[in-house]
Each structure stands twice: as structure tokens, then as C-alpha cells.
Chains A and B, each alone.
Chain A
Amino acid sequence: METVPADGLIAASWLLIALPLAGAAVLLLGGRRTDRWGHLLGTGTVVAAFVLGLLCTLQLGGRRVDVDLFTFVSTGSLDVQAGLLFDPLSAVFVLLITGVGALIHVYSIGYMAHDPRRRRFFAYLNLFVAAMLLLVLGDNFVALYVGWEGVGLASYLLIAFWHERPSAATAAKKAFIMNRVGDVGLALAIFLMFAQLGTVSYDGVFGAVGTLAGGTVTAIGLLLLLGACGKSGQFPLQAWLPDAMEGPTPVSALIHAATMVTAGVYLIARCAPIYDETPTARAVVLAVGAITLMIGAIAGCAQDDIKKVLAYSTVSQIGYMFLAVGLGPVGYVAGLAHLLTHGFFKAGLFLGAGSVMHAMGDSVDMRRFGGLASRMKVTFVTFGLGYLALIGFPFLSGFYTKDAIIEAAFDRGDGWGYLLGGVAILAAGLTAFYMTRLMLMTFFGRPRWEPGVHPHESPTVMTAPMVLLAVGSVLAGFLLVVAFPLESWLTPVFGEPEEAEHVVAPLVVSVLVTVVMALGVLTAWLFVGRREVPVTAPVRVSPVTRAARRALYADAVNESLFMRPGQWLTRALVFVDNRGVDGAVNGLAATLGGSSSRLGRTQTGFVRSYALSMLGGAVVVAGALLAVTAG
């Protein structure tokens, strides 16, 4: 579908990015003067961006609008225009980012109330929102890359917000480095596009991608996938995401659950025309999604840290989305719908977890929770709704969108389809297990609180966003799938959906998923709910549990495959540098210095020594003169 020039309010959609960016600039440059009202400004810019985004979306009505901003680079044949692309896909993301972002900003006012650096926190959050909006609104890959790096920076700053804690600083570095690995892939993909096609705009690339050789397209697809894996915490770059939970909980909710980590899904969905040309890359996307799905679900079952369970759940859910977008046209809408509903309920779950931590004195150990249902009613209810939405309780959000993905997997019709569908259903069961375990350990059972902890409900400024997100968790699935189908909204982007031939009847899939989910809940109740939960984690456990606790040894593999050889290489290079290069340079310097200081010794200060050398010179001159005249 052709793009149309911007008109009306959409022409001002650059304000979407400019508002939070201005907020960040004011807060960062204003310094301590802005401490008193900084959080209000930060929240205000994002709320304003949300309102603007909503109005733009209402004006959009199924068009693709190109907003020309300015000429970025114009030299000879190279002409890079900076512009925004406001189409149904970006509109969806804009609403998700600004909507959830605004709620989390409000929540942060309460959550960070006692932090002396709250103003800076809001500045970073605003910076993140601005970068994320640039990522989804840019009309070319360079703008996307700038936003991509911007959210990486904001993520780094926010994970390390409490940088005085070594674990937070380490986690931030880990996130940054693993993101860099992915970013290199994205950058290479953009270089490749520019080298082959001479353009980096979406329209230019997607229009010409059919003319490229198959291998090139596959390479671009795989490199883009590498970038997406890095940002979205997908296999093999999934290890940073659980560690990123060291950041403040609102950060985990906004960046590491709802928005930034879904940038990979956005990238693959946006590049659908590229993946349409390369079944190989698409199959790899599929494999990555399926593997991550299982890794996240298995690891989530054995964690005791409430935020880590949610983090592995995020890894697993994004695996679902990758699986969906890897399925091709039938899965894009399902994946994006799941992305949106996941944004709601996972953000809600994280905010709930933050509320629990707030009540429990910043403890994250679920083994020291228990029995919180009666003490924190609002948190319990909102968290419970999010939980039900996540495990796919019938007619809540997750039910609609997850079923759609599993149906789409079966609809492939071949053996792979059945395998992927089976994996997805199994993971749904595991999801139900670990989330039920989390619920039971946190809200039910006997209190196992540490001494001196007095749980209390959080203030309204924190519970209100949780309630709103809980409502979203309940209704989003119904709204997106049944009431106002996302499918038809996204038609301008992905084209008219083809009528799928269902291999397995949707009803059968729904029933099957629900049964497996119920089995998971039941198992969790049998293992966790019926017995007393030990306050410390049992040491004598099965190898499977041990592996799950260590996230299937992802860190160990990374360390032994990359970190240690890297350290050896570094050490060798340091040795060569110190002994070889420095040795040569220092040796030369020492030789010169030593010989010159020895030469300086001849300047004794004794005039007679100098006179002696003068006479010596005179003798030489006289001898030379004589030799010349005589010869």
C-alpha cells in the first residue's frame, strides 16, 4: 500500500519523540533545581505523548503516513531523509509504549518516592520512551538503529540505576555487552542493505529486496535476527534479561517486559517483506522462538527470585512471539497481539511484584513471602488477574492471543507444525506451573516473613496503574481478537489475511491448551501448595532442577565459550603489549636515556676538562690541516 504525505495532527507526530526527549534534557541538564517537580514533568511528557499518539491513531484510519522531517545527509548520490512512518503497526507500538509507559511513570512516582535520585530516574525513563518511539516511528533503518542504541543506553543506565550495588553494575554491563553482540548484527545488516541496494529506507529496501540474490537476503535476515535476539533476550543471547532485574522494578516492567524487549519482534514484523523472501531465515526465527520458549519456561520453574521468575516468563513469552512471527503471514498478527496483551499483563505482574517487594522491604526471595493475599488485597487481585491472563485462563487476554499462536503453528500442517504446536502447548503447561508456584509461594500458605517485616498495601499512586493494567490484562485479548480485530487494523501493513485452513479445529486447540494449563496448575498445587515451603532452597535436588535453577547453564556456556577464551586472548595481548611493544619502546627510551645521562656525566663542571677537550679538538684540526696540505 502506498504511503501518503502527513496531514493534520499526524504531521506533528514528531512531537511524540520530542516531548519525552525534551523532558529528559530538562531533567538531566536542569540538575538539582528540578528535583522537586522533576517526576511530575517526566510523567507529564509521557502522558502528553500518549494523548497525542491516541489522537494521531484516531486520525490514521488505515493509512500509511510518511512524515518528512529534514534532510539528514545529502551528498552526491547519497541522500538520506530523516522522516517518520506512522502506519498501523507503529501506531500500535506508540500506544503500547506511551500507554504502559505513562502508567509506569505514575507508578514510579510512588515507587521511587524515597530515592534521592528520583529526578534522574525519570530523566532516564523519558530518554527511554523517546528512543523507543524513535525506534518504532522511524521510516528507515538508520533511524531505527539510532532508537535501537538509544533504548540500549537507557536500559544500561536504568539497570545500573543503583550502581552502588556491584550486582546491578555487573548486570548492566552484561546487558550492554550482550546487546552489543546483537547490535553488531543489526548494523551489519544495515551495511549490507546499503551496499547492495544503496538505500536504507523501509520503502526502498522492501521494494527492491526481491531483486537481491537469495543468499544475500538470507544473510540480511539472519543478521537482523541476531539483532532482534540481542534486544529481545532470545536464544542464544537470552542470559542478560534475567540479570537485568537488578534495576528498579518499574524499569523491569516497562523496558524488560512490555516494550524494549519486544523491539526484536517489531523488527522482524517490520521486515516481513525481507523474511517473505527467505524461508531459511524464517525457519531460524522459528527455531529460535521455540528453543527460547522452552528454555524460559524450564528455567522459570526453578527460580526463587520473584522477579527472575517473571523475567524468564518474559523470555519464554517473547519466544512465543518469535515463534509466531517466524510462522510467516499467518503468525504476524497473532504474535503482535500477544505482544500487546503481554505488554499489559506482564507490566501489571511486574508492578505487582514491585508492590510486594515494596511491602517486604525490597526482598525478592519468594521463600520468605507467603500469606500476603490478606495483607495486600489490591495487589493480590491485580496480580491474580495478570497471572490468569498470562497462563491463558479462558476468555482472559493470554487465552486469546496464545491460542492464536498455537493454532497458527498447527496450521503449518506438516510435522514441524505439530512439533512446534506441541512445544508451545507444553510450554503453556510449564507457564501455568511456574506462575502458579509463584502465586502460591507469594500470596498463599503460612507467612515466612523475615523478622521485622510488616507487609502493607502500597499507596494509591502505585495501585492505580496496577488496577488499570489488570483491567487491560482482562480485556485486551477480547478487544484485540474479537471486538476490534487487530488483524483488520494491520491489514495495510501485512496485507489481506488469507483464510487459514485449520488442520486442527480451533476449539480442539483451545480445549487442549486449557487442559494442559489446568494440569500445570494442578501439578504446582501438588508440589508447592500442599506442602510447607522450605525457607531455604533444598540442596539435594534432581539434576533437572539444578539445571533449571542455573537457567540451563546459559551463563556457564557463555563463560566457557566466549568469556574465558576472550580473557585468554586479552591476557596474551596484554603480555605481548607489555613485553613486546612496550618493551621495545621502553627499551629504546631507556637506552637513549641511559646513554644521554652517561654522556651528561662528561659535563663535570671542571673548566680544565673542557679546555682539555678543546685542545684535543685543536690537535685534530691541526693534524687534519697538515694532512691535507701535505697530502
Chain B
Amino acid sequence: MSDTWIVLGATSTIAGAFARKLAERGDGLILAGRRMDALDAMATDLTERGASRAEPVSFDARDPGSFAAVLDAAQAAGGTLNVAVFVGSMPEQSAIDADPALVDGVIADSFTGPTRFLTLALPVLEAQGKGTVVGVGSVAGDRGRLGNYVYGAAKAGFATYLSGLRNRLGRAGVHVLTVKPGPVDTAMTRGMEGLPFMAQPEAVADDILRAVAKGTNVLYTKRIWLPIMMVIRAIPERVFKKMEI
């Protein structure tokens, strides 16, 4: 029986590249996201590329009422269930300062939404005793930076959750992969100048698939971010608080 992947936040650029690679090896795809017109177009494309199934399902990380339908669709598809989480949002820190209500959305998109979804999926995953959960966090979650610390805090929360989930699901035979990308060349980063070590979405998708196959626990992509973040994490807080990086 083939693999079925739930892709949360399927219209994101990285998710799109990832889904294409899954499609070309014939996996089934449940495409979960908010923009149904975009998901419909994606589903047609992925079916033509070889997906054994590509089904768009309406999903909003901020609306737990939308979660059950996604799981139902995946179970109807059959096969080994896998989940890949690509949701997240990153408003400017200044926009958050001007409208504190934005904090709730950022936390829901990157942390509480996917956490709640995965909690729902847990019994299925544990019962099947195999499969993979891919959670996409960010290098921004490794340290609270001046420019995006609300986003960073949400990603840090998600990373900690994934660490615990790995501890639990690992015992049942389900692997959990935490992905921490640096800047990726997507619509989200196009307007920003001067981002270092920019990765291409296809390369990130390749890295994720390789890490899934190898059973990697935490993947930095590009790989250069692993040593960089080791250094940044090691900077004492009394020094870090005066830095602008």
C-alpha cells in the first residue's frame, strides 16, 4: 500500500516543491490550505505528475473546526498516513507592535494550530506504528531576534512540541522530523533584500525527503545553518541582547 501525505499549508512554495516530488513517486496527497482555487489547480497538476490521489481540503490553522475533515480525507484515502506541516505566517514586527491582536494569528499559524492538529492525528499514527511527521519550523526559532521574535517564539514552541512528539511517537515506530530552514527563495522573501544563504525551494524539498529517508531528527537547510545557529545559540544573553543580527 502506498503512502498518503497530509500537507498542511499546501500552497506555500516549499510545500508545493515537496508535494511535486511526492507526486512523482506516486504517493497520495491531501492538500490542506485556505485558498481553494489554488489548491484545485495544484491538485490537477499533481495528479498529472503521478500522484495516486491529490485531494484539496479546506484547512485554516486558526480554525480547529476545519481539522477533522482533513484527517477524514486522509483516512478515506488509505495507505500509510504521513503528515507534513508547512503552515506559518510572519508579519513585520512593527505591524505586530501596531496591532497586538496579530500575535494570536502568528502563534496559531506556527504553533497552536499545527500542534492541535497533530494531537488529533496522534491516535491514528500510534496505531499504525509507522509513517513520518515532518514539522517545518525555522532557524528563527533558535533565538529571539530583534526583527521577528514573535514569529521566532511560535516556531520555538513548535520545535519543542515536535521534540516531545518525537520522543513519544518514536516508541510507536513513527518518525518525527523537525526542519529548520534559513531564508528560502519564495514569494514571502522576494521583497526582502540582502538575506544570507538563500535556499531554493526545490533544494529544500530534496533535503527534507532525504532526511525522511534517513530518519534524521533535526534538519537545518541549507546545512550551513547548523554551525551558524550553534554559534548564535552559544552567545551569552548579556552579549546577545546588544546585538542586531
The answer to whether A and B belong to the same complex is no
Footprint of B on A, CB under 8 Å?
Answer: none
